[in-house]
Structure 1
């Protein structure tokens, strides 16, 4: 079921979106990815903007990857998980340069998975992987269509295993999802995709 790819293409980025139930789901996903992932991972997890977040510390205890809050202007490194800070949009440009934005809410949300996905679609095209996990609402659906349009690959958690089905079900309904997988199978597929052309 792996999408056909040109031999010279490889995946260079993974972006993940989650909301309600996402902290637990992210722990499962990141924990199963193991060390030394050859690409950076960007994460939008909807957080209460009124409080400082400890999400990076929580997830760092569940994965061998480095986990940090993203900072404007930094260049993304392989094997590092970059989290959108509360109340800031997370965007990724050419060369993996990170931008944080306080621009208007998108569908009442900041950070917005749609904006993250659209930014990686623009910067990475067919080298991008977008993944939608548990959550309410439909954030990420427009973004996965952008990723797919640019030739990227889209993964959604199987709504049957999601604690909250709204986001993954909405993503699947776009017709732009390549893999619909139980949560505990997603990490293995991501590793296979990002490592295939590097062997």
Structure 2
């Protein structure tokens, strides 16, 4: 896939768990600012308060980083972080919704729930990335992105601190890319450089 093909994507969704934080920080450092790219991040932290996580991510990112709030509009040039204790969904109108539903793969927020809702809302404009993690959350959601025409990237399990999450995706389907951390950084840089305006692509 060459750089020009990344121009089709205006929203970047990233999911990860154990062992993914360092990769996420490196990816965020690569994002150019300002950009028309919107970033949504779901990371298993085990905490209801993601304020400290947002502070840490802000140190590695030129874009504003904040917890995604119920009813808030997904906006470009911003990193939206799923809070703890609720599932985060993106509705077709481009707004966030919080749901206190059953835990999925023993976690809430669930990467699957977020990815599936974003796949329905953004289809071919969505790029989904699944990183290191110690459970299978995210595989089904990433597959939904793939089925609805979005770009799918899975961290190479050989480079992951916890292999189960990326391996679960690879067992389910063949993603567009299976990438090392450095390749993930390069992809994020290209997507953020080439992202088009969300509103003009609706």
Q: Give the TM-score normalised by structure 2.
A: 0.88
1:151-196 Cα deviation digits (max 9, x unpaired): 1110111112211111112112222410111112213213434544
Distance (whole Å) between structure 2 residues aligned to residue 69 and residue 52 of structure 1: 7
Distance (whole Å) between structure 2 residues aligned to residue 4 and residue 61 of structure 1: 29
Aligned length: 195
Work out which structure has the larger RCO, using CA pairs closer than 8 Å and 6 or more positions apart in sequence. Answer: 2
Unaligned ranges ≥5, structure 2:
197-202
- Gap change, CA 1:135 and 1:86, over 3 Å in 2: same
Distance (whole Å) between structure 1 residues aligned to residue 139 and residue 107 of structure 2: 14
1:78 aligns with 2:76: yes
For 2:95, the equivalent position in structure 1 comes to 97
For 1:162, the equivalent position in structure 2 comes to 160
For 1:120, the equivalent position in structure 2 comes to 118
Distance (whole Å) between structure 2 residues aligned to residue 3 and residue 153 of structure 1: 13
Distance (whole Å) between structure 2 residues aligned to residue 3 and residue 121 of structure 1: 22
Q: CA RMSD in A?
A: 2.1
Q: Which of the two has greater helix per residue?
A: 2
- Gap change, CA 1:133 and 1:104, over 3 Å in 2: same
Conserved? CA contact 1:113–1:140, under 8 Å? yes
Which residue of the other structure, out of 160, 184, 198, is the alignment partner of 2:182? 184
Distance (whole Å) between structure 1 residues aligned to residue 14 and residue 114 of structure 2: 9
Which residue of the other structure, out of 45, 61, 72, is the alignment partner of 1:47? 45
Distance (whole Å) between structure 2 residues aligned to residue 146 and residue 12 of structure 1: 17
Unaligned ranges ≥5, structure 1:
none
Distance (whole Å) between structure 2 residues aligned to residue 3 and residue 28 of structure 1: 19
SS of 2:169 mapped into structure 1: helix
1:8-32 Cα deviation digits (max 9, x unpaired): x832211110100122221111112
SS of 1:115 mapped into structure 2: helix
Q: Give the TM-score normalised by structure 1.
A: 0.89
